[in-house]
Amino acid sequence: MAQLARPRVAAARLEREILVLVSSGRARSRKEIAESLGIAPSTVSQRVQAMLASGAIEETGEGASSGGRRPRALRVPGSTGHLGVVDIGGTHARLGILRHGGELTTTTEVALAIADGPEPVLTQVTAALRELAGTASDGGRLLGVGISLPGPVDVARRALDSPSRMPGWSGFDVGTWLEDALGIPAVVENDANAMAVGEHFGHARRTRHSVSVKAGSAIGAGILVDDRLHRGTGGAAGDITHTRIPAGGDTPCSCGNRGCLETVASGAALVRLLREQGYDVAATADVLALVRDAEPVATTLTRTAGRHLGEVLCAVVNFFNPGAVYLGGALSTLEPFVSAIRSQIYEGAHPLMTRDLVIAPSALGADANLVGVGRLLEDALVPHALAG
């Protein structure tokens, strides 16, 4: 029995992989599927033929021509449309519409206050998303919505899990609220994870294992292993910001602990340290302005912050041996910050770990979360495509 069942299991797995590629628009032809999966075109053809026969996919006859006969494009029935993607921050949301295949066609930003609680914020966001979808050039049909939130997300419950400074959000079922409001499937993800997925697939030179760090007023990180997001047991994998380091001393942290990386290496920490020295700064943007003006104290503090983050990343790189560390967030636009991280990793990590390691700035910038959560949404929509 087991031997008879095995080829069927392999075929089912291959069909699902093909369905993900085709429904997401990442592959549109047999040739692209074969290249993407690294398997023989004949194997792909056989599977595609079976899927066409069962109606799981269909042919449109409008593939991209590379000279000669025009190849037939594949698609999943009912999968034509766009994806709505939203990245919520503390004081604003960035929204976008993704075309099939992950291309961001249009974006906008709206001001909001996350502390107002989930319903006022989500009402504002869905209204803005409807308006944005309506302006898309080829109709406004949305197939699904993906949302990135600035706190620990319980992905199964599609809710935030005890976020700090976000009253009313903990345990609120964001996914169901969005589905009821918009009538389309929704996925909910933590912002560091969404960014990590966007960056991982957004760089031209690809690696299968990456760490993406966002250093802004807070610090977050996300991990991809074998091209898949690694969330960890409680969804908190990559949360390096609450690693205690000696330089943190007794400084209280937002998590209730003392001496976390966040208390010495984040934008909020730099604001605090500069204020202690009498500087009139209120937000990370003020720190950025000082460093860009080469103000010596701000520059030194920023370089030291980068060294502390680099010190923690050394342990991450040694443990995980990634192919790339991508640096995003406002602080990563500052040369003294980034060069301190680089030198700390190259000096502190084992040479085997850094030999092929790429340390690169963010490829997508402010759009990384949108592209990342869109990709997660594409994956989540496949079962709907199967059912339909």
- Cross-strand bridge partners of residue 159: 154
Question: Cβ of residue 189: shortest distance to Zn ion, in angstroms?
Answer: 22
Decide whether 241 or 333 has the Cβ nearer to Zn ion.
241
Closer residue to Zn ion in complex, CB, 260/313: 260
Using CB under 5 A as the binding rule, whether residue 242 contacts Zn ion is answered as yes
Q: What is residue 60's DSSP assignment? A: -
Part in contact with Zn ion (CB under 5 A); list of ranges 33-41, 76-84, 202-210, 251-259: 251-259
Nearest to 89 by CA among 274, 283, 272: 283
Give the residue with the Cβ less far from Zn ion, 19 or 265: 265
Cα separations in angstroms, 119 against 27, 31, 123, 124, 154:
38, 46, 6, 8, 18
260, 298, 314, 381: residue in contact with Zn ion (rule CB under 5 A): 260
Residue 51 or 265: the one with the smaller Cβ distance to Zn ion is 265
Per CB under 5 A, the list member of 170, 257, 339, 343 interacting with Zn ion is: 257
User: Is residue 255 a contact residue for Zn ion (CB under 5 A)?
Assistant: yes
The two three-digit tokens of residue 48, written as one number: 């595609």
Examine residue 253 and tell whether it contacts Zn ion (CB under 5 A). Answer: yes
215 in contact with Zn ion (CB under 5 A): no
- Stretch of residues binding Zn ion (CB under 5 A), selected from 101-109, 241-249, 275-283, 356-364: 241-249
Q: Which is nearer to Zn ion, 22 or 305 (CB)?
A: 305
Residue 253 or 317: the one with the smaller Cβ distance to Zn ion is 253
**Nearest distance in Å: CB 376, Zn ion:** 27
Dist CA 281 CA 271 (whole Å): 6
Residue 264 in the binding site for Zn ion (CB under 5 A): no
The separation between the first and the last C-alpha atoms of the chain, rounded to the nearest angstrom, is 31
272 binds Zn ion, rule: CB under 5 A: no
What number of chain residues touch Zn ion (CB under 5 A)?
5
Cβ contact 381:185 at 8 Å: yes
Name the residue with tokens 């000096």: 347
By CB neighbour count within 10 A (0-12 exposed, 13-18 middle, 19+ buried), where does 1 fall? exposed
Three-state SS for 61?
Answer: coil
Q: Which amino acid is at 355?
A: R
Cα separation, 49 vs 304, whole angstroms: 59
143 backbone dihedrals φ, ψ, rounded to 5° = -90, -25
Residue 162 beta carbon to Zn ion: minimum distance, rounded to whole angstroms:
13
Shortest distance (Å) from residue 271 CB to Zn ion: 17
Residue found under tokens 């001496």: 259
Looking at 192-200, 258-266, 270-278, 326-334, which segment touches Zn ion (CB under 5 A)? 258-266
Binding mask 189-208 for Zn ion (x = CB under 5 A): --------------------
Q: Which is closer to Zn ion, CB of 215 or CB of 359?
A: 215
Question: Per CB under 5 A, which of residues 24..83 are in contact with Zn ion?
Answer: none
Whole-Å CA distances, 238 to 80, 92, 213, 228, 289? 35, 24, 9, 14, 29
CB 302 within 8 A of CB 331: yes
Both tokens of 62, joined, read: 């409008």
**Amino acid (one-letter) located at 353:** M
Contact stretch for Zn ion (CB under 5 A) within 51-59, 208-216, 247-255, 287-295: 247-255
Residue span binding Zn ion (CB under 5 A) among the ranges 75-83, 126-134, 157-165, 237-245:
237-245
Angle at the Cα of 201 from the Cα atoms of 33 and 226, rounded to 5 degrees: 75
Rounded to a whole number of angstroms, the minimum distance from the CB of residue 219 to Zn ion is: 10
Strand pairing report for 159-160 and 153-154: antiparallel
Nearer to Zn ion, 229 or 253 (CB): 253
Q: Is 230 in the site for Zn ion (CB under 5 A)?
A: no
Helices (H) and strands (E) in the chain, counts: 13, 14
Looking at the Cβ atoms of 149 and 260, the one nearer to Zn ion is 260
In the complex with Zn ion, the residue whose CB is nearer, 253 or 291, is 253
- Shortest distance, CB of residue 251 to Zn ion, whole angstroms? 10
Task: Catalog residues that contact Zn ion under the rule CB under 5 A.
Answer: 242, 253, 255, 257, 260
